[in-house]
Chain A
């Protein structure tokens, strides 16, 4: 599983970073970036789905 942040859509709500700091980081402006090229380590799939489901801007997608 991989996560991807669309930088055009991200407005820096930081919901993904709060919910899954193992999968996302934030830059100096507070916008989200995926860690580890977006690869989701085993056991963190639920957190990845939570990040997708809580982004107010629909900026995060998952590819299996």
Chain B
């Protein structure tokens, strides 16, 4: 699957493009080479974009909220315009917010994603995984991404927000538009405008329904929440709903898919994990390190020089946490997946004030999804390695993983 409408890249140090098929299929060799030769690359694409690839530079920029704004976090041909909510709020608070507003918007949401709240969703998630696995029983070849991984965060997030589960297909469509098609869309794209209005109308309907029938979910929580004694602006509620849909689904689906893809072609790791379930917490963190799904982005807020690179106000900066996680200066045997790695200071959920709000939820979903799959199918394998496809854009994960489920003797 690719949405690339750009000319192919011939030199990633001077003309990189994260939607180029070479990057989409396997970005690791690109980052390895850049790390050794040109640790911050530049490309004129998207109106000017920088790419740090070392842990040192990625973390320095993540922590520097003075020189880098989060007002836009998905690199595209379109920079935020005058009709978008002004900084420091942004269109999807708090991911698109800067200090000091960011802290207030984030503090409001943190309790809903704290460990104890997330723990309460574990039985639902485990049941969901088992229902999905039941449906795979008796089949020879199944798609672990399409028939399993993608459904888990879709249904968990729909449940959290209190949106109808039947709307899952619509959410998938919206996420694809924003995270993949949106990268190369232009400002006067009518289809994009119409889709945006339809999504606003969908959120408005859900809000009206929750106003009429308040219930114990995140939508009612947002509607009743207060900042400085006032309810949230309508646009703030819609923006946060958008954030939770977009950031909570594709990302976790990608992490689950990557973990299953790894186990499907590394039988020794699969065997060990099935036999030693105590390894699971370490294995999960290692999967998150090695296959971190999310690359973030910033806009340069004011002219600044980083490691000799003259970054200009308005330039994009890609923040590839997956590249930082493979930096051999920072990690021992960085390019190997070591499922019992004990020391693992990975940055899969970002660094600094924008640490992934849903990291506890994502980690729980990933662990439960892998635990239940491995328990049910401890000897599955990749059916056709060449049929595995990867998502293009800033969220990386397999979108199709055909696997063979060996028939079991009864």
Contacts and interface: CB of A to CB of B under 8 A. Distances in A.
Interface string B109-153: 011011110000000000000000000000000000000000000
B342 interface: yes
B347 A56 contact: yes
- Per DSSP, are chain B's interface residues mostly helix, strand or loop, or mixed? helix
Contacts of B360: 14, 30
B8 interface: no
A12 interface: yes
Interface residues of B, number: 23
Contacts of B285: 15, 54
B114 A28 contact: yes
A50 B349 CA distance: 19
Given A11-B352, A50-B342, A56-B346, A18 B281 contact: yes
Contact of B355 (A11, A19, A26): A11
Given A14-B115, A17-B115, A56-B347, A29 B110 contact: yes
Contacts of A18: 281, 363
Interface string A23-58: 000111110000000000000000000100111110
A19 B281 CA distance: 8
B281 A12 contact: no
- Per DSSP, are chain A's interface residues mostly helix, strand or loop, or mixed? loop
A17 B345 CA distance: 14
Given A11-B355, A14-B115, A29-B114, 14 more contacts: A12-B114, A13-B349, A15-B285, A18-B281, A26-B115, A27-B114, A28-B111, A30-B115, A53-B345, A54-B343, A54-B344, A57-B351, A57-B352, A57-B355
19 contacts: A11-B352, A12-B114, A15-B285, A17-B115, A18-B281, A19-B281, A26-B114, A28-B110, A28-B111, A28-B114, A29-B110, A29-B111, A29-B114, A50-B342, A54-B345, A56-B345, A56-B349, A56-B351, A56-B355
